[in-house]
């Protein structure tokens, strides 16, 4: 279980130079994760009670979640633990799994308030789609992952390794699948170092811009894609964008480049290394996983779901912005700031495919 000693055991972060190996505490290997559970933080009974009290106060106020900030969700005891978790996200391995939230005893709306309130201690929530959903739902709604306009969280297919368009992504597990669906997390810093070792020419290719699809979620007049490299350094610190299906699908969009053999090989190797260097992190109901998008990639295994709609695999999701987390290029900041199309209204739906 994660504790204060983990901070004293971190390797030092060296100054990153593009196309040279980097030393970073986020550069872990899967055996570092499977050896123990020091990446898990278990809430104490006192912390859970404090979180539930803060959530009850928000619910009683009748305030919209989009109007709730950290000051509206006071956690005088738990805040210190959350600050330690944030430090691990920023200066450590780049992910933490919090455990013990009693979601089975909460209403759907109550769990959303708890999740949102904890999220305020890490960053500001962003819109996750063209409908302005500030609370996302990772749940199969029967869509085809091969469709260029479909996003993987709407399916039960295996996901390519990727990171979300935000500084941090948080997931709260409400229900697990009948079988499969394990969360997989890898260090994108380790992927970079291993790629340099095996194929420095392909690593160099991923320092150039790729086109990334916007999945049709763009205002009129905007291109249906944006451009960004996979590997980039700012202020001596490396950040990585997961070379994923978001880039593959962009090839079919007007004005986007068709991949050369080198580009295809580079993305294929990135995905291969992500598979090799990932650890499975099984979810339990009440687990709250939070990832630093600049140093991790994630995916999930395919799954078989329950027939009963009330038991289907369901994760709440938050996209969070925090400019303090890691120095990134202005181009990254513009494209990691949520999906905001003309006329969008922030809202918090309680299930997948529903309006707020």
Per-residue DSSP letters for 83-127? HHHHHHHHHSSSEEEEE---GGGS-HHHHHHHHHHHHTTT-EE--
Helix axes 108-119, 45-61, angle to 10 degrees: 110
Provide CB contacts within 8 A for 10, sequence distance 6+.
25, 91, 92
211-261: per-residue pLDDT in tens? 999 888 888 888 999 999 999 999 999 999 999 888 999 998 999 999 999
Percent of the residues in the chain that have a pLDDT greater than 70, as a whole number: 92
Half-sphere exposure of 259 (CA within 13 A, CB side): 20
Provide CB contacts within 8 A for 71, sequence distance 6+.
none
Question: How far, rounded to the nearest angstrom, does the alpha carbon of residue 144 sit from its chain's CA centroid?
Answer: 21
Q: Is the pLDDT of residue 14 over 80?
A: yes
Q: Which of 1-5, 94-98, 330-334, 342-346 has the lowest mean pLDDT?
A: 1-5
36-48: per-residue pLDDT in tens? 999 999 999 999 9
Q: Is the pLDDT of residue 210 over 80?
A: yes
Predicted local distance difference test score (pLDDT) of residue 150: 47
CATH of 5-335, one of 3.60.130.10, 1.10.150.120, 3.10.20.30, 1.10.30.50: 3.60.130.10
Domain ranges of the chain: 5-335
Predicted local distance difference test score (pLDDT) of residue 294: 98
Q: Residue range 68-84: average pLDDT? A: 98
Predicted local distance difference test score (pLDDT) of residue 4: 47
Q: Is the pLDDT of residue 82 over 70?
A: yes
Q: How confident is the model at residue 341 (pLDDT cuts 50, 70, 90)?
A: confident
Q: How confident is the model at residue 54 (pLDDT cuts 50, 70, 90)?
A: very high
70 neighbors 320 (Cβ within 8 angstroms): no
Find where tokens 């969009």 sit.
Answer: 253
The residue among 120, 121, 116, 100 whose CA lies nearest residue 2 is 100
User: How does DSSP assign 225-285, residue by residue?
Assistant: EEEEESEEEETTEEEE----HHHHGGGGSTTPPPPPHHHHHHHHHHHHHHHHTEEEE---T
DSSP state of 316: E
Pairing status of strand 136-138 against strand 183-187: unpaired
What are 289's two structure tokens?
């996983």
Q: Which helix (H) or strand (E) holds 298?
A: strand 296-300
164-205: per-residue pLDDT in tens? 999 999 999 999 989 888 899 999 999 999 999 999 999 999
**Residue 8 burial (C-beta neighbours within 10 Å; 0-12, 13-18, 19+):** exposed
Q: How confident is the model at residue 352 (pLDDT cuts 50, 70, 90)?
A: confident
Predicted local distance difference test score (pLDDT) of residue 10: 86
CA pair distance 241, 228, nearest whole angstrom: 8
Percent of the residues in the chain that have a pLDDT greater than 90, as a whole number: 76
Q: How confident is the model at residue 5 (pLDDT cuts 50, 70, 90)?
A: very low
Angle at alpha carbon of residue 101, lines to 151 and 62, rounded to 5°? 80
Provide CB contacts within 8 A for 259, sequence distance 6+.
251, 267
Q: Which of 51-55, 151-155, 175-179, 252-256 has the lowest mean pLDDT?
A: 151-155
Q: Is the pLDDT of residue 127 over 50?
A: yes
For the chain, give the mean pLDDT: 92
Q: Is the pLDDT of residue 89 over 60?
A: yes
What are 60's two structure tokens?
């009683």
The residue among 76, 124, 115 whose CA lies nearest residue 286 is 115
CA pair distance 164, 171, nearest whole angstrom: 12
115 neighbors 316 (Cβ within 8 angstroms): yes
Predicted local distance difference test score (pLDDT) of residue 1: 63
251-297: per-residue pLDDT in tens? 989 999 999 999 999 999 999 999 999 999 989 999 999 999 999 99
Q: Residue range 48-56: average pLDDT? A: 98
Pairing status of strand 40-42 against strand 95-99: parallel
Q: How confident is the model at residue 356 (pLDDT cuts 50, 70, 90)?
A: very low
CA pair distance 81, 87, nearest whole angstrom: 10
């Amino acid at each position: 279980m994660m504790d204060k000693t983990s901070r004293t055991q971190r390797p030092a972060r060296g100054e990153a130079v593009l196309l040279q190996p980097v030393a970073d505490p986020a550069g872990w290997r899967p055996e570092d994760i499977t050896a123990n559970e020091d990446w898990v933080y278990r809430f104490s009974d006192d912390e859970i009670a404090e979180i539930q009290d803060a959530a009850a106060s928000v619910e009683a106020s009748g305030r919209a979640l989009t109007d709730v900030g950290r000051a509206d969700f006071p956690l005088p005891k738990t805040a210190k633990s959350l600050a330690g978790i944030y430090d691990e996200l920023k200066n450590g391995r780049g992910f933490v799994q919090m455990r013990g939230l009693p979601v089975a005893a909460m209403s759907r709306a109550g769990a959303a308030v708890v999740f949102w309130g904890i999220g305020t201690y890490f960053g500001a929530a962003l819109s996750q789609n063209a409908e302005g959903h500030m609370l996302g739902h990772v749940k199969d709604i029967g869509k085809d992952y091969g469709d260029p306009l479909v996003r993987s969280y709407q399916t039960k297919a295996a996901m390519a390794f990727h990171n979300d368009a935000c500084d941090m992504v948080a997931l709260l597990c409400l229900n697990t699948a009948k079988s499969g669906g394990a969360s997989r997390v890898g260090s994108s810093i380790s992927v970079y170092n291993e790629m340099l070792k095996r194929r420095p020419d392909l690593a160099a290719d991923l320092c150039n811009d790729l086109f990334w699809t916007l999945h049709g979620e763009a205002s009129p007049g905007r291109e249906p894609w944006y451009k960004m490299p996979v590997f980039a350094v700012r202020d001596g610190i490396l950040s990585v964008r997961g070379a994923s299906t978001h880039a593959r699908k962009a090839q079919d969009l007007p004005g986007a480049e068709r991949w050369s053999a080198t580009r295809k090989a580079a993305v294929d190797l990135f995905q291969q290394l992500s598979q090799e260097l990932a650890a499975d992190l099984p979810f339990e109901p009440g687990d709250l996983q939070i990832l630093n998008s600049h140093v991790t990639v994630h995916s999930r295994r395919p799954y078989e779901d329950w027939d009963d709609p009330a038991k289907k695999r369901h994760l709440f999701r938050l996209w969070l912005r925090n400019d303090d987390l890691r120095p990134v290029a202005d181009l990254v900041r513009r494209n990691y700031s949520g999906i905001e199309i003309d006329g969008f209204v922030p809202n918090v739906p309680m299930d997948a495919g529903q309006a707020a």
